[in-house]
Amino acid sequence: MACIKVIRTKMSSDEKLSYSPDKSVVEVVDPEKAADKSYGGDYDSVKVDVKTGLYDGLQRNMKQRHVQMIALARTLGTGLFLGSGKAIAHAGPVGALLAYIHVGTICYCMLMSLGEMMCYMPISGGYIHFAERFIDPAMGFALGWLQWYGGVVGLPTELISATLIIGFWDTGPDGSGMPNSHLAGYLTLLMVLCAGVNFLGVRWFGESEFGFACIKIALVLGCIIGGLVIDLGGGPSGERIGFRYWKEPGAFAPFLLPGNTGKFLGWFQTLLQAAFSYLGMESLAMTAAEVKNPRYALAKAVRRVFYRIVMFYVLAILIVGMLVPSNDSKLLQSTGTAASSPFVLAMTRAGVKGLPSVINAGVLTSAFSAGNSVLYGASRQIYGLALRGQAPRIFAKTTKAGLPFVALSFSSVWILLSYMALSEGASTVLNWLSNLTSILGFITWGIISWTYIRFYNGIKAQGIDRTQFVYWNRFQPYPAYWALTWSIVIIFFNGWPVFIKGDWDVSDFIIAYINLPIFGVLYVVYKVLRKSRIVAPEKMDFHSNVPPPDTVDFNEPEPTSIGGKIWAWLF
């Protein structure tokens, strides 16, 4: 890695950074000189962080199709294949459907807010950097480190889940369950594969997630189409179900309490579950510094990914609610394998054979893909923190190929926590650690929405015309307020069942709310030690380290062949 020496870091509003020809020295130059291509590349100059002088060595090796599929792969997972049964049981078919649609609106408002910021500023750190730049450096610090913790603790949890899913086929020599020796072997294999894919570089990571997403999409479409056929009487049994279960036991189901109050609580409980299912769309922002033609690619991803994910979830919930009654006790079973899937339950009863293994294979790819994506995100989060001086500088080192190898290596070490699954006591500790991150995603959604509101106010205060942005929405900032409001509601009421008389549980209460004081401590400690202040709209920085359009953006040629047009429509 080249040694970066900053000659002068204080700049006037008309100056910019530029490289010397050998890229070893950074200096402040005047715009007229910077316009001379022989003096230094504009793109290289903006890659030097104005706060720390560190060079952002990430390279744009990811393709547009990778970005779309990374978000799809991260979001379409076990929550759909296994968790949709609980949604129907808790709220009923219509209650669950309304809950997923409602959360879809929250997620879309968050995503369009994030999309406008990351298309304007496709830089390392994503929403963590935005929170630091537009709210308060302490906010970016607290969110970044809490996110990284959630990633490195969630990583072994995902790999353990994948290993347990393999137990669907490997029940041991006597059929009593997977022996520890097999569990250790599968864990080791998955750990090596997960780390290996990430160390091969962002291009290979993108290709792997593209493949996993294609498998998931095919499986979800197969379940939706197959479920519709069975509902209409096309299964081996020939029984037509229609909307029978919407009438008996009913469109809504009570949860914990009887009557309409219980039905409302059932809807709200499923609202929380649906929110967990949608988590992961915000991961798009972590790819902003590594995708080619970023503004076009990210804008296209924001427009397409949301509709596809909502379509898959809403249609899947609709079909499940038609196939299985909400009072079926098997909807609440929790095996961690395809045996818990409502699709398997419905199709097995209809006489369809061989489906459990197919669903289980899809769930396995979902769990492994989630671990793969979590490791990628964690490494980029700590890399982004280091780049802005909020983590040790060594984590900002990259290889010549643009791989943040120190950040990735440090994040990968925590994968060894997976071996805690071999000990019953240690496994309990790991479950506790991972459960402590349960509302982290909603904290992230809320901060993204709040960051956008601040971004919007700053744009307005500085007279910047946002209608000239590659991606913007005419209804803002109201969608951001909608997402922020509901994120707060979900954060503060996610542990509501413990307050029902007779259901108090200390551990559930701690798991539901411990993240709030942890976040507060991180924020206050940084604010006190670094004396950071909330950034005034008039002083927000909308220019530093933002790549000029002519350096990273280009017009992609329109496809002329039928195959090319289909490919462009799909991806």
pLDDT in tens, 478-502: 999 999 999 999 998 888 888 877 7
Tell me which of 67-71, 96-100, 541-545 is least confident.
Answer: 67-71
The DSSP-derived string for 67-122 is HHHHHHHHHSSHHHHTTHHHHHHHHHHHHHHHHHHHHHHHHHHHHHHHHHHHHH--
* Opening angle at CA 153, ends 89 and 180, nearest 5: 80
Q: For the residues 162-183, what does the mean pLDDT come to?
A: 76
Which amino acid, one-letter code, is at 370? A
**Average pLDDT of the chain to the nearest whole number:** 82
User: CA 143 to CA 454: how far, in whole Å?
Assistant: 16
The pLDDT of residue 27 is: 36
Q: What is the pLDDT of residues 48-65, one digit of tens each?
A: 888 888 988 899 888 888
Cα distances (Å, whole numbers) of residue 228 to 94, 241, 327: 17, 10, 21
Each residue of 407-463: pLDDT tens digit? 999 999 999 988 887 876 655 666 666 666 668 888 999 999 999 999 999 999 999
> For 83-99, what is each residue's pLDDT tens digit?
788 889 899 999 999 99
Q: Give residue 380's pLDDT.
A: 94
Contact 363, 82 (CB under 8 A): yes
- Where along the chain do its domains lie? 47-563
Least confident of 106-115, 258-267, 295-304, 544-553: 544-553
In the block, which residue shows the tokens 């002068």? 8
With beta carbons less than 8 A apart as the criterion, state whether 384 and 163 touch: no
Confidence (pTM): 0.87
> What's the fold here for domain 47-563?
Amino acid/polyamine transporter I (1.20.1740)
Nearest Cα residue to 569 out of 312, 300, 221, 287: 300
| Mean pLDDT on 154-163 | 85
**3-state per-residue secondary structure call for 475-491:** CCCHHHHHHHHHHHHHH
CA distances from 454 to 83, 104, 469 (A): 36, 23, 17
**Displacement of CA 252 from its chain's centroid (Å):** 30
DSSP element (H, E) containing 370: helix 355-387
**pLDDT at residue 190 is higher than 90:** yes
Residue 318 has pLDDT above 60, yes or no: yes
In sequence order, the 6+-apart residues with CB closer than 8 A to the CB of 331 are 85, 86, 88, 89, 324, 342, 345
Is residue 4 scored above 50 in pLDDT? Answer: no
Contact 231, 241 (CB under 8 A): yes
